[in-house]
Amino acid sequence: MKLALHLILILTIGYLSIVVFFAILQNRLIYYPVRLLPSPDSIGIRQVKEIFFQTKDGVKLCGWFLVPPEGAPCLLHFNGNAGNIAGRSHLLEMARSNGWGLLLFDYRGYGKSEGAPRESGLYLDAQAAWDWLNLQKGIIPQKLILWGESLGCSMALDLASKQPSAGLALEAPFTSLMELSKELYPWLPVSLFLRSRFNNQEKIKQVQAPILIIHGRRDEIVPFQHGKILFESAPGPKYFLALNSSHNDIFDSGGDVYQEEIRKFVKSCLAEVLHRQ
């Protein structure tokens, strides 16, 4: 009996130690920033400006901006939780080839952006990017498409629920970080210590713009069902593209089908704006 109680005590202490470890280091398990960021010119990216802007709480952020041709739409992209904007440079070429503008920017704590990432701060970063495009570059909401990737879908959704835009595209979104964490770590009491919530399912109900959701059937990080649930929760107009891809290869696996869907969505968003006017 003493041996059994001793074993239970050891296992309990071990389990509680793991819980404390996850609770203390949760931000390091959510965010994987890369600080080193080359200039666009140094890696052969043409006609792209490195720009800086400031958030309402005084954090300076860095971005790469492809100026849209006169009268053309502009896309505002929100990265996933790893790397920095250098890893999304292929999107600039896609935008250029379609005659669009594009702003890639790094959240606080990523690339050359100041600060450290946290949920409330990332929402401020998204708003600051919208403000910079609208107030500094004169890009009206009717020409602006919000485009989120994985964790970046949360920033895109939060912004879209508060500010007008022509459309909202989401790649591999999750319903909420709480639900996703429970699925990824079913043996942890995440509801007791998780600080970041990113409640996308509630916010998507408030979006008053066309929505496109793209999700991979083989997504090993954010299950495909999350995309479907969000789609069902979204008001219309809404569109869904299912790809035979995993979490991190949507662009490569999707190929022409993926790019054509983005083109069609942008075109339909602009047509919807004209219809409403």
Q: For 217-265, write each residue's pLDDT tens digit.
A: 999 999 999 999 999 999 979 999 999 999 999 999 999 999 999 999 9
Is residue 163 packed enough to be buried (19+ CB in 10 Å), middle (13-18) or exposed (0-12)? middle
pLDDT tens across 156-184, in order? 999 999 999 999 999 999 999 999 999 99
Catalytic residue among 77, 113, 150, 158: 150
Cα–Cα distance for residue pair 46/106, rounded to 1 Å: 19
CATH code for the domain in which residue 261 is found:
3.40.50.1820
User: Is the model's pLDDT at 195 over the cut of 80?
Assistant: yes
Nearest in space to 244 (alpha carbons), one of 230, 231, 258, 233: 258
Tell me, what's the pLDDT at 236? 79
62 SS3 class: strand
| Residue range of the domain that includes 197 | 2-276
Higher pLDDT, 9 or 156: 156
**Number of folded domains that form the chain:** 1
Q: Where are the alpha helices (DSSP H) in 41-137?
A: 90-97, 119-131
What percent of the chain lies above the pLDDT cut of 70? 99
**Three-state DSSP class for residue 197:** coil
Catalytic residue among 106, 125, 158, 219: 219
Is residue 219 flagged as an active site residue?
yes
pLDDT greater than 90 at residue 137: yes
39 has catalytic annotation: no
Task: Tell me the whole-structure pTM to 2 decimals.
Answer: 0.94
| DSSP assignment letter at 115 | S
Average pLDDT over residues 86-115: 97
Q: Is 247 a catalytic residue?
A: yes
The reported pLDDT for the residue numbered 277 is 64
Cite the DSSP H helix spans in 110-223.
119-131, 152-160, 177-184, 190-193, 200-204
